[in-house]
Structure 1
């Protein structure tokens, strides 16, 4: 497993842990994303260094190739001028430059392969971190929903506890007692009324009924004339 995959898995694991524990998920998820951004910066610096190595070998390889071509051209010029010794010296140095060029070619190929691989892995890491950032709102929503569900479950458990049930029973008994006391007070109040008060109430009720009867008769008469 590459360092990029490890970094991503560590970050994802921390996010999952934040959701599971429900310990301020917003802050924890944002902290994980900040840490991943810092890791991306560090890895980017490492990739940049490797690319610099690749560029250095590429430059040195190009210089070696140019020098090989130059020595061959000088050998041809020396031969054309009839100077075999100078041509021989140019070809001897060309052989050294060819050996150097071949070694530089191997080093450049390895450096380029490594840089290409690191660039691909860095690109993959950045894409994954971007996906996590895109999922931030979803993860937070899920965490908040789970947190709310946990509170509801805790509350529902509390409703069924014996002490809560007993409190409601006592309140019911107290309310019923208040009704009973009110009924008893009403009965006592009626018992304490004098005979004259009772007759006055009866007379008032009779008068009220008479008025209602007369009102009903007038309404009937008016409706009949229409």
Structure 2
């Protein structure tokens, strides 16, 4: 169980680019690793809880056996005072059995207590490492998103600066220049046409004035 955490720590601490090269999505993979860690922690917590319960049970049985030892000792003394050696002997025999049980239970409890402390320490270490991995996960996911955005932007910029794009812009520029040239030409033709019409209008106006002037001279006898 704990070895899994070490393996996950190594994977999470590996280079982001290596993960991308394997076509793995770091964001999704890191979330999965965190879920696996959480599952392992819950499993270890359950195991520690059961072990602690067993440790407490052994301690209670040991305490009961030790209490029986003391009780039989007191009863044996009481029987001696009452001059009942047979009863005292039976009390001492039962005391010996409980003493033996107490010693065995003491050994079992000490080992269980040692194991419980070791499991608690490993669980605490797992939780600390889990918190570190969560922080690192947030950092790596942010870096992954930034890298994806940069890659997308670079690809877009690369497409914009490609030869095909440049050629397309050049073709459009030529079309715009052609449109402008056509517009200038049509304007010149229009201007030329207007100038010619103006000349004829001017000529017609002069002719009308000349005719009117001749009529006027004729009328007053100046011709």
Name the residue aligned to 2:37: 36
Deviates further, 135-144 or 61-70:
135-144
Q: 1:112 and 1:120 mapped to 2: Cα distance?
A: 12
Name the residue aligned to 2:25: 23
Name the residue aligned to 2:53: 52
Q: Deviations over 1:121-174 (max 9, x none)?
A: 223323333444456654443332222111112212222322222212211222
Identify unmatched segments of 5+ residues in structure 2: 202-223
Q: The residue matched to 1:192 in structure 2 has which SS?
A: helix
Deviates further, 181-190 or 101-110:
181-190
Shift of 1:50: 0.5
Q: Deviations over 1:53-94 (max 9, x none)?
A: 101110111011111112222222222223333333332332
Name the residue aligned to 2:11: 13
Name the residue aligned to 1:104: 105
Q: 2:40 and 2:200 mapped to 1: Cα distance?
A: 98
What is the CA RMSD across the aligned residues, in angstroms? 3.3
Equivalent residues in 2 for 1:72-221, closer than 5 Å: 72-133=73-134, 137-197=138-198
Deviates further, 103-112 or 116-125:
116-125
Shift of 1:34: 3.8
TM normalised by structure 2 equals: 0.72
Matched, 1:4 2:6: no
Shift of 1:175: 1.7
Shift of 1:42: 2.1
Computing the radius of gyration from Cα coordinates, the structure with the larger value is 2
Q: 2:10 and 2:90 mapped to 1: Cα distance?
A: 64
- Give aligned pairs, total: 198
Q: Deviations over 1:21-71 (max 9, x none)?
A: 47382x555454444333322221111111111011101110111111122
Alpha-carbon contact 2:16-2:140 (below 8 Å) kept: no
TM normalised by structure 1 equals: 0.71
Task: Rate the CA distance shift 1:98–1:198 in 2: closer, same or farther, 3 A.
Answer: farther
Q: 2:3 and 2:31 mapped to 1: Cα distance?
A: 20
